[in-house]
Structure 1
């Protein structure tokens, strides 16, 4: 994160810039509409079957619904959506401990990992043991396949989104950790600030990263986050590799608002206007445009959705929500 040469940074920038131009060329002005999906609701007590919903992509989909899913969704206004493969399943328990609301999670299981989903059901009270049991069945052939597989980020994001019942979505990556109490903060904010119900508007979540090699631990609140940054143990995401990633979010201004006052009520801090090559973590309406599933590979993959807004205005919170 911190000791990156100018040459490496420039190379990363031009690669990402090229991908962004490609995404812009491919996108249509009215935005992208993914294929309709069919879900089979899977009972964890039986073998389950799967529904082929796209002959070209060859994707089979099933859903496991939590016992409190519908009641919790009907009580809430925002759902956390995320996606990952079997390697990232170990992140889910900790993510769930920080997010107290409904979560819609898409797990990518390529064909070579299919048998791993059919092993005898382990004791799910120990998440580490579950992951260890699943991954212990992998061979060198699995590892080689996964390393060369083109991960369908945007398909997985859209799949997770399809299961949402609330009016708003927070789309985040599975390795991102939100601050404590973020669910309650967003619930209060959305219910109080009707501005997000307006057309083409969204709520921007600042993104940071930590230098874990120097002992940085996940902060509990904004004051701890800023202290880590003062000690050069944290910074805005990709600031050394690709500063344009979050340049439109004005994180330096956000850091000064309300300082470390943890009692500050959530509210609008500033307007954030979308600009070229800026990728954001957003809270937005569940009816807003989907991600472009034609995109493959890494870099600027979230850009396709924000670009679909065409004229886009975001609002940054005055104090509390952030992810690392």
Structure 2
């Protein structure tokens, strides 16, 4: 016979095990129910001669596929229908349980299969993210970059139909998008539809894909914009071994893709163990006025800076966030041969430096707890520093942000969000000490 205290322990363990099993079954039931509902909605959406007008929508306000986003009598194209099917069947919950994630739901045609796909890994992907209403920046970016792009798009759950239609139209209208862009989609489980949308159809002209209305930055009806989740989703959709993560409103210098791929080949950065090298290659960032052309060369850029048409990124908002790139040293060096890039000097990370850089796709992920404004990028760069990465600044390589960043250009809740994320950043730095106990580096 068991002693009473042992019987009590066994009993409590049994209760705990039953509780865990019940929780798992409950979560599984919720997910399966959601997926079944989406399949039903797709089937309904694909019925012949279905009217999709504003007054024939599904009941409720938070369905994934809102029929009122489309004109009366419009039928879904095969491409559109296929994307919706993939989203419904293969999207998963993120770590917080608040968002559905569809990674690589549409892939560029240049990715290839088999040996072609293996060859495609020997490249450099531009990784970016944006909200639905900022997708109009994608076509010029795809045309300028001339290489693979992985973009994660955020939409409210009621906008998914419209977003998928926009993916379809962008691929139809822009050959560079169809060839090189991989789309991923992130949307909250429940949220209203944005009032800033204009319905589109397959007959929509290419120059009218996007509504003239613009959604205010970071205004998503109470849903916090998950920028780091989006960055991670876009990263995971890449197939190349190298990447450069930038925001959608940034344009890399002309020829940077080919120049760095050439440099990487010479340096053996596509080898089997290349991801083990703890190095990132920093690309200086400048702002230019809205009404001027993007500079083609470093010489053009420095001339624009001299004329007051360009300045270092975040010069007005947070000069110290970029100063350790050492722009004076970079500007002093003459431009190297056209079509080539080379490391110019090494920089030791110091708080609060948050450079943009080219790196292996194996570098640490972004912390997805950071949302809205503040500390979302610097937290990841801080981890690179603690993990022992080197920062090499590239000569003749640069990224351009169109428009000068000013204090008056931000949303009203910016300061509150920044303070909340500042507290989270303190916690994050403490966690890094436990994650890298052997490292002598700290984020201060």
Same fold (TM over 0.5): yes
Look up the match of 2:97: 56
- Bigger share in helix: 2
Change (3 A) 1:114 1:92: same
Look up the match of 2:393: 316
Structure (1 or 2) with the larger CA radius of gyration: 2
Q: Aligned partners of 2:320 and 2:266: how far apart in 1? A: 32
Q: Aligned partners of 1:185 and 1:265: how far apart in 2? A: 5
Q: Secondary structure at the match of 1:306?
A: helix
Q: Secondary structure at the match of 1:277?
A: coil
Residue 294 of structure 1 and its aligned partner are, at CA, apart by: 0.6
Contact 1:237 1:245 in 2 (8 A): no
Change (3 A) 1:235 1:188: same
Q: Aligned partners of 2:310 and 2:365: how far apart in 1? A: 31
Further displaced range: 178-187 or 309-318: 309-318
Change (3 A) 1:145 1:299: closer
Q: Secondary structure at the match of 2:347?
A: strand
User: Does 1:227 pair with 2:299?
Assistant: no
Contact 2:228 2:366 in 1 (8 A): yes
Q: Which structure has the higher relative contact order (CA within 8 Å, separation 6+)? A: 1
Q: Secondary structure at the match of 1:275?
A: coil
Q: TM-score normalized by structure 1? A: 0.76
Further displaced range: 148-157 or 115-124: 115-124
CA RMSD of superposed structures (Å): 3.1
Further displaced range: 179-188 or 105-114: 105-114
Look up the match of 1:184: 258
Contact 1:208 1:323 in 2 (8 A): yes
Q: Secondary structure at the match of 2:372?
A: coil
Look up the match of 2:334: 258
**Contiguous gaps of at least 5 residues in structure 1:** 1-41
Q: Aligned partners of 1:89 and 1:144: how far apart in 2? A: 15
Look up the match of 1:67: 109
Residue 43 of structure 1 and its aligned partner are, at CA, apart by: 5.8
For each residue in 1:289-321, what CA deviation from the matched residue of structure 2 results, as whole angstroms up to 9, or x when unmatched?
000001122123111211112133111112234
Residue 130 of structure 1 and its aligned partner are, at CA, apart by: 5.0
Contact 1:73 1:79 in 2 (8 A): no
Look up the match of 1:111: 157
Q: Aligned partners of 2:165 and 2:237: how far apart in 1? A: 26
Q: Secondary structure at the match of 1:188?
A: helix
Q: TM-score normalized by structure 2? A: 0.56
**Contiguous gaps of at least 5 residues in structure 2:** 1-77, 178-203, 402-444
Residue 113 of structure 1 and its aligned partner are, at CA, apart by: 2.1
